[in-house]
Chains A and B, each alone.
Chain A
Amino acid sequence: MNHSMKTTGKKRGKHWDYSVKYPLIFVLPFCICFFAFNLFPIIYSFFLSLHDWSGVGEKKYVGLQNYIMIFTRDKIFFKSLRNTLYLLLISFPPAIIIGLLIAAFLFNIKRLRTFFQTVNFLPYITTPVAIGLIFLFLFDRNTGIVNRLIEGAGGEGLNWLGNPGLAQLVIAFMILWKYIGYYMALYLAGMTSISQDIYDAARVDGAGAVRTFFSITLPLLKPINIFIIVTSLIGGLQLFDEPNLMFNVSTTSIIGGPKRSCLTMFWNFYDVAFGSTARLGYGSAVAVCIFIVILIISVIGLCLMGGKEERKHE
């Protein structure tokens, strides 16, 4: 390939067209936009993270001071990290498992399958901010429908959005509500793509429904499992829209819901960089730290998936 490049460089004939001119024409729009609007901002953010700057006036170079601050004194950053991981752990695994179970049931049902699939998919495509507002109305202490129903049944309404633990539960429930249908559709699509012959063979061998599910369906769904785990990790770590809407209207100056229990990493980042006091340098350092966290967790997630599979083969 190297050799042909050299010769075409001299001739500038048809070969030059196909190895330099046309590739350049097709690749250039992406490369220019990528550099200008994606890569450059990230590099510039990293540059800013070494400075103390509020957005106006002189940038003051402080070296690694911002990072040292985050690791030694910023309790809120670590609280937001803990919150995010906790919310991730209590919401996504159940959502994935329930989605898989329902998909397994739906797969055996022919009638109304499309209907059930469509209905359960609606939460996923609804604007996240709207979901936040809907749940705000449902779980409001005085006016929310959930408490009114509890009271109607003779119970006592709970302060859903005012109690740290309950607020986290509401967020987890919201994630569950949003993603079950999506995961279900993904798994259904995966199951439909598995060849019917394999199932027929299993039936001939006398395998029951449960056995077939665990020995055939689940292993063959591995690509989808990886896709779901990686995307839910990356998506979950970016959680921002719904909690931000639900707990933004609070009258107190403390952001992030009751006792900051619903302050996610991205929300903390947004607040540090653009909130009441604009600290763009420090905010950029927080962004870099979040990036590292996402990288580490994604790699761990991928390794766990890979490792499990290897052990199975042994």
Chain B
Amino acid sequence: MNKIRKPLLYIMISLVSLASLFPFYMMIAMSTFKTEKMFQTIPLYFSNYLLNNLKTVFGSNFLRAYGNSLLVSCVSTVFCTLISAMVGFALVAYRFRFRSVLKKLIMLTMMVPVQLGIVGYMIEMRTLHLTGTRLPMILIWLANGFGAYWMMQYIESSLPMEMVESARVDGSGELNTFFKIVLPCVKPGIVTLILLIFLWSWNSYLVPLVFVNDNTTMTIPIFIKSLGNAYMTDYAAQITGLAVATVPLLLLFILGSRNFIQGLTAGAVKG
């Protein structure tokens, strides 16, 4: 690498990074303005109205939406990961009838967007009297084609079957083996899946859009959508709502960014 090109590379990558950050910066800068004042200047600097805007936002449904999103995403993630790991383990550890059929089915479901069945899903949930609860937003995540495929691949490549067999010889029950030996062994794969399912369910929009029709079950994406109606003309409050809805997750990501990016890219590199 010669001496002229290297600084040039740094300048280029810095410009791209600036473009990535600019909208976030604008969002945070604008949330510190009073709406009227925001329109008088170009809000590239920080003003002093943030606390008032925050007061407006926290006076609305924000905390409830946050709680709902956390609840829905955590429950979905825990159960989806567990179910995926179980089916993945079964496909690797046992030879049983319909094994290859199940394998093919899982591969097929990865290609089909689940949302296409949303009409049938909505009617099903209505028949089960589950509309108006948070369950429809959770149940759709339980059997995830990608999750099952990912766990199968991961367990196949990184679980030494001798460990499972020696546990059997020692008289350990299969469920016991699964929780005590298999799961700790494939921890990195599980962490990746947890991150992905959490991210996907947290950002999920279409399913909540169909099922949420009042404030009690509202999730963050629906809250963001409702900002426009909630503060008709108070732009600053809208932007502040947007900022408080997105920034905490982004900060969390930055704190664990090394693992996070590794986890998110691992699937592509391995597959």
Q: Taking beta carbons and an 8 Å cutoff, which residues of A are in contact with B?
A: 1, 5, 17-20, 22-27, 29-31, 33-34, 36-38, 40-48, 55, 98, 102, 105-106, 108-109, 112, 114, 116-123, 125-131, 133-135, 137-138, 143, 145, 148-149, 152, 177, 180-182, 185-186, 188-190, 193, 209, 223-224, 227-228, 234, 238, 240-241, 244-245, 248-249, 266, 269-270, 273-274, 280, 283-284, 287-288, 290-291, 294-295, 298
Contact = CB atoms under 8 A, between A and B. Distances in A.
Contacts, number: 269
Interface string B42-80: 110000000000000000000000000000000000000
Given A45-B120, A117-B261, A266 B115 contact: yes
A30 B148 contact: yes
Given A38-B109, A41-B120, A27 B268 contact: no
B161 interface: no
Given A127-B221, A189-B266, A241-B221, A120 B205 contact: no
A138 B242 CA distance: 13
23 contacts: A5-B97, A22-B90, A23-B94, A23-B99, A43-B120, A48-B119, A116-B17, A117-B261, A119-B20, A119-B21, A121-B261, A125-B250, A126-B246, A127-B249, A128-B203, A130-B224, A133-B224, A138-B23, A177-B23, A209-B1, A227-B267, A238-B113, A245-B225
B25 to A, nearest CB: 10
Interface of B: 1, 6, 9-10, 12-13, 16-17, 19-21, 23-24, 26-27, 30, 38-39, 42-43, 82-84, 86-87, 89-91, 94-97, 99, 102, 105, 109, 111-124, 139-140, 142-143, 148, 174-175, 178, 199, 202-203, 205-206, 209-210, 220-221, 224-225, 227-228, 235, 238-239, 242, 245-246, 249-250, 253-254, 257-258, 260-262, 264-269, 271
Contacts of B19: 177
A290 to B, nearest CB: 6
A24 B175 CA distance: 12
Contacts of A109: 6, 9-10, 13
Most buried by B among A38, A42, A46: A38
Nearest to A279: B119
Given A19-B94, A280-B123, A295-B111, A45 B17 contact: no
Contact of B124 (A44, A177, A249): A44
A61 B115 CA distance: 24
A30 B206 contact: no
Q: Identify the 3 closest CB pairs spanning chains A and B, nearest first.
A: A44-B120, A41-B120, A34-B143
A127 B202 CA distance: 8
A241 B206 contact: yes
A27 B206 contact: no
A227 B268 contact: yes
A28 B264 CA distance: 28
Given A108-B9, A189-B266, A1 B116 contact: no
A105 to B, nearest CB: 5
Given A31-B87, A105-B13, 13 more contacts: A30-B86, A44-B117, A109-B10, A114-B258, A122-B24, A128-B203, A129-B224, A145-B43, A186-B265, A223-B271, A227-B268, A234-B111, A241-B221
